[in-house]
A and B are shown apart, each in its own frame.
Chain A
Amino acid sequence: MATWKRTRGFWVSVILAFSFFVVVEWLIASGTLNIFYVNTLFFMAINVILAVSLHLIIGITGQFSIGHAGFFAVGAYASAIMTMKLQLPFAAGVLAAGVAAALAGLIIGVPSLRLKGDYLAIATLGFGEIVRIALLNIDYVGGASGMTVTHMTTWPWVFACLFATILVIANFTNSTHGRACISIREDEIAADAMGINTTYYKVAAFVIGSFFAGIAGALYAHHFYIIQPSNFGFLKSFDILIFVVLGGLGSLSGAVVAAVLLTIVSTFLQNYPETRMIIYSIVLILVMLYRPTGLMGTKELSSLFKWRKAAQGGMNHGGKNTVA
Chain B
Amino acid sequence: MAAKTPLLKAENVGIQFGGLKALSGVTMELYQGELVGLIGPNGAGKTTLFNLLTGVYVPTDGRIMLDGETLNGLPPYKITRKGISRTFQNIRLFGELSVLDNVKVAYHAHARHSIASSILRLPSHFRGEKEMEEKAIEFLNIFQLDGVMHEKAKNLPYGQQRRLEIARALAAQPKVLLLDEPAAGMNPQETKELMKLIAFIRERFALTILLIEHDMSLVMGICERIYVLDHGQLIAEGTPEQVRSNPKVIEAYLGEEVS
Contacts and interface: CB of A to CB of B under 8 A. Distances in A.
Contact of B133 (A171, A178, A193, A323): A323
B214 to A, nearest CB: 21
Contact of B77 (A187, A198, A323): A198
Contacts of B104: 176, 179
A196 B94 contact: no
Interface string A1-37: 0010010000000000000000000000000000000
Interface string B132-172: 11100100010000100010000000000000000011001
Contacts of B113: 175-176
Interface in B84-101: 85-86, 88, 92-97, 101
A182 B94 contact: yes
Contact of B137 (A177, A250, A316, A323): A323
A194 B118 contact: no
B119 A194 contact: no
B259 to A, nearest CB: 46
A171 B80 contact: no
A177 B115 contact: yes
B96 A176 contact: no
Q: Taking chain B's interface residues, is the majority helix, strand, or loop, or is none over half, making it mixed?
A: helix
Contacts of A191: 94, 105
B67 to A, nearest CB: 17
A324 B137 CA distance: 7
Contacts of A177: 115, 118
Contact of B128 (A176, A178, A185, A298): A176
A176 B132 contact: yes
Interface centre among A193, A196, A298, A324 (most CB of B within 10 A): A193
Nearest to B153: A186
B196 interface: no
A190 interface: yes
Contact of B108 (A186, A195, A320): A195
A183 B97 contact: yes
B105 A194 contact: yes
Q: Taking chain A's interface residues, is the majority helix, strand, or loop, or is none over half, making it mixed?
A: helix
A196 B105 contact: yes
A190 B150 CA distance: 20
A193 B54 contact: yes
Given A176-B132, A192-B76, A193-B54, A186 B118 contact: no
Chain A interface size, under 10 / 10 to 19 / 20 to 34 / 35 or more: 20 to 34
B11 interface: no
B105 A179 contact: yes
Contacts of B54: 193
A190 B97 contact: no
B247 to A, nearest CB: 37
Contacts of A323: 133-134, 137
A252 B55 CA distance: 35
Contacts of B92: 187, 189-190, 193
Given A195-B81, A198-B77, A179 B101 contact: yes
A168 interface: yes
Nearest to B81: A195
A231 interface: no
A151 interface: no
B94 A190 contact: yes
Contacts of A3: 126
Contact of A187 (B94, B108, B111, B141): B94
Given A175-B125, A176-B128, A189-B76, 4 more contacts: A176-B105, A187-B95, A190-B88, A320-B150
A-B pairs, top 7 by smallest CB distance, nearest first, are A195-B109, A175-B118, A186-B94, A195-B80, A190-B92, A192-B76, A194-B106
7 contacts: A171-B118, A175-B119, A183-B94, A191-B105, A195-B85, A197-B77, A204-B115
